[in-house]
Structure 1
Amino acid sequence: MELVLTRPQLSQFVFLLLALGAIQSVDLGVAKTQGVEIAENGPRSTERNIYVSVAAGVSLLGSAWMFYRTTGGLFNPSVTLALRLIGQITTMQLVLYIIAQLVGSIAASAVILGLFPGPLFIRSKLGEGTSLAQGVFLEMFATSILILAILMLAAEKSRATPMAPIGISMTLFACHLFSISATGTSLNPARTFGPAVITGFRSDHWVYWVGPFAGSCLSVAFYAWLKQCVFIVLFSLILTKT
C-alpha cells in the first residue's frame, strides 16, 4: 500500500512542482512590475499565457518520460478515470491514484509557497466574461481532446508508444492555448485542488471537477466508437476476402 501511494505522489509532486512553479515564477515577475492585484486577478498578457502553456507541455513531457515505467505517468484524476472506464485499471487503483494525485498536488503547492516570496498566485478561475456553463464546456472539451490523445497514443500499444509523451505534451500545449484566457486551462482536478487548499476554494471551484470528469467520459465514449468503427472495417475486409 505504501509503495502504491508513494510513487504516484512523487511523480505528481515533480510534475506540478514544475508546471505550477512556472506559473508562480512568471506571476511573481508580474507582481513586481505591475502589482500584486494584477498578478492575482489579471488581466493576463498574451506573453504570460504562452509562457504558462509552454511550461505545462514541457513539464508533462519530462515528467511522463521520467515516471512512465514506474507509475504509468498518471498525473490527472480525469485520465485515471478514463483508464478505469476502459478497463485498464481497477476501482481500487482508481481510488488510490486519485488520493495520491491530490496529496502530491497539495505538497507541490506548499513547497512552491515556501520556495518563492510573496503569496501563492496559482489559482484556477474563470476569465472575465466567462460564464459557469462556458467554463464547464470549455474544460470538458479541452480535457476530452487531451485524454483522447492519451488513449490513442499511450493506451493503444504500438511501436510508437515510447514516443507518446511528445504527442500528449503537444496536445496539452494546444489545449492550453485554446482555453487559457477563458478558464486558465486546468483540465486536471488535482492541479486545481492543491493550490485551492492553500489559497482557499472559490465559488467556481466545482467547474474544474465537473468539466474534466465530463471530458473523461466524453473521450472514452468517442474512443469506444472509434474502436468499434475500426472493428467493423476490419471485419468487412475479412468478409470481402473470403
Structure 2
Amino acid sequence: MADEKMEMGEVGSSLMSSETKAPAARPPNKFERLYQPCLGELVGTTFFVFIGCVSVIENVESAGRLQPALVHGLAVAVMVACMAEISGSHFNPPFTLAIYLCGGMEMSMVLPYLASQLLGGVLGAAMAKGMTSRENYTKANGAAFALLQSNDEIGGAVFGEVAMTCLVTMVVLLGAVNAKTRSPLVPFMVGCTVIINILAGGDVSGTCLNPARAFGPAIVSNYWTYHWVYWVGPITGGLVAAALVRLLLGDGKIRLILK
C-alpha cells in the first residue's frame, strides 16, 4: 500500500511539474532577426527627427534652448524604452558603430542599421516640413544646423560635438552593453544626457550628436553650410567612447587590456 502511495505521489508530482513548466522560448525567425530591427531603427529615427525638427521650427523664442532640449531628450527616452527589445534603440550612427566595436551587435547588421537611420532622418525631416508653416520652416532652415557662419567658430563646435557625443555614447555603452553597469534606467539616463548636452552646448554647435538628425533636414531644406561638422564630430566622439569602454571602463568581457 505504501509502495502504491509512493508511486501515486511520484506520478502526481511529475504531472504537476509538467503542468507548471514554462514553455521553451521560440527562437526568433528571420523577420524578427533581420528585418524587424531595421524597421525599428527606421521608425524610431523617423519620429525622433520629426519631433526634434518640429520643436526647433516652432520654437518659442522666450523658451530659448529649453524647449528643444526637453523635446529631444524626452523623445529619445520614450523611443529607447519602446524599441529596446526590437532593435536595441540606436537611432544614431555613432551609437551603432560604438555598440558594434564593443561587441553589442553583429557586423552584418551595421550597414542596414546605418541606412535605416539615415532614411529615417530624411522621412522625419520631410514630415516636419509638411506639418509646420512655410514662414517658420524657412526661418529655421528646416531645423538644419544653421548656427555656424564663420571659420572662427569651427574649432569649438567640432570639439563640442566630439565631447558631448562621447558623453552620451558612454552612457549608452555603460548603461546598455557593459554587463557590470547595465541598468534598466538607460532610457532615462540617455534622455537626461541629451537634455543637459543641449542646454550646455546649444549655442556653441547646436548640439547635434547625431548625423541622421543633421542629414535629414539638410536633404529636405538643401542647407549644407558646415554640414561636415555634424558627421566628423559625432562619429569621432562615438569612437572615443568606444575606445574608453574597450580599453579602460568595460568589464572583463569587453575590456581588451588590464584584465
Which TM-score band applies after superposition, normalised by the shorter structure? 0.7 to 0.9
Aligned partner (choices 90, 94, 97) of residue 110 of structure 2: 94
Aligned partner (choices 207, 222, 234) of residue 185 of structure 1: 207
1:124–1:192 Cα contact (<8 Å) kept: yes
**TM-score, reference length from structure 1:** 0.81
From the CA coordinates, give the structure whose radius of gyration is larger.
2
Gapped runs of 5+ residues in structure 2? 1-33
1:134-155 Cα deviation digits (max 9, x unpaired): 2111100000000011111111
The 4+ residue runs of structure 1 with deviation greater than 6 A are 228-231
Q: Secondary structure at the match of 1:162?
A: coil
1:64–1:165 Cα contact (<8 Å) kept: yes
Compute the displacement of 1:6 (Å): 2.2
1:144–1:219 Cα contact (<8 Å) kept: yes
| Residues 117-128 of structure 1 aligned to structure 2 (within 5 Å) | 117-118=133-134, 119=137, 121=140, 122-127=143-148
Query: In structure 2, what is the Cα distance between the partners aligned to 1:159 and 1:91?
Result: 24
Compute the displacement of 1:125 (Å): 3.0
Q: Which residue of 2 aligns with 1:78?
A: 94
Correspondence 1:58 to 2:79:
no
| Residues 199-218 of structure 1 aligned to structure 2 (within 5 Å) | 199-218=221-240
% same residue: 24
Q: Which residue of 1 aligns with 2:44?
A: 11
Q: Secondary structure at the match of 2:204?
A: helix
Tell me which protein shows more helix as a share of its residues. Answer: 1
Compute the displacement of 1:159 (Å): 8.8
Compute the displacement of 1:160 (Å): 6.0
Q: Which residue of 2 aligns with 1:40?
A: none
Compute the displacement of 1:4 (Å): 4.4
**TM-score, reference length from structure 2:** 0.76
Change (3 A) 1:227 1:74: closer
Aligned residues: 217
2:161–2:233 Cα contact (<8 Å) kept: yes
2:179–2:251 Cα contact (<8 Å) kept: no
Gapped runs of 5+ residues in structure 1? 31-44, 236-242
Query: In structure 1, what is the Cα distance between the partners aligned to 2:216 and 2:110?
Result: 18
Aligned partner (choices 129, 133, 147) of residue 113 of structure 1: 129
1:142–1:215 Cα contact (<8 Å) kept: yes
Query: In structure 2, what is the Cα distance between the partners aligned to 1:61 and 1:138?
Result: 22
Query: In structure 1, what is the Cα distance between the partners aligned to 2:198 and 2:103?
Result: 28
Query: In structure 1, what is the Cα distance between the partners aligned to 2:109 and 2:96?
Result: 9
1:35-92 Cα deviation digits (max 9, x unpaired): xxxxxxxxxx6x3211111111111111111111111111100101101111212222
Correspondence 1:226 to 2:242:
no
**Bigger mean CA deviation after superposition, 153-162 or 9-18:** 153-162
**Bigger mean CA deviation after superposition, 123-132 or 147-156:** 123-132
